[in-house]
Amino acid sequence: MDEGGNSPFWDGLAGRFFDMTFPEADEFNAVHGTQFIADLMPKTPIYVSLLSEQARAVMGLPHPTGRAALRMLEEENFVFDRYIDIFDGGPTVTAHTDDIRTIEESDEETIEEIAPGGKTKMLLALGRLKDFRACLASTRRAGRKGLCIDPEAAELLGVKEGDTVLAVKR
What does each of the 170 residues of the chain score in pLDDT, given as a tens digit? 777 777 899 999 888 888 888 888 888 888 988 787 778 888 888 899 999 999 999 999 998 889 999 999 999 999 999 989 888 899 999 999 989 999 999 999 999 999 998 899 999 999 999 999 999 999 999 877 899 999 999 999 999 999 999 999 87
Q: Alpha helices of the chain — where are they, by DSSP H? A: 8-12, 22-32, 35-40, 53-58, 67-75, 101-104, 151-157
| Residue 111 to residue 113: CA distance in whole angstroms | 6
Domain 105-169 has CATH 2.40.40.20: yes
Catalytic residue numbers read 63
For the chain, domain boundaries: 8-98, 105-169
Q: Spell out the residues 6+ positions from residue 148 whose beta carbon is closer than 8 angstroms to its own.
A: 111, 112, 113, 114, 115, 117, 118, 139, 140, 141, 142
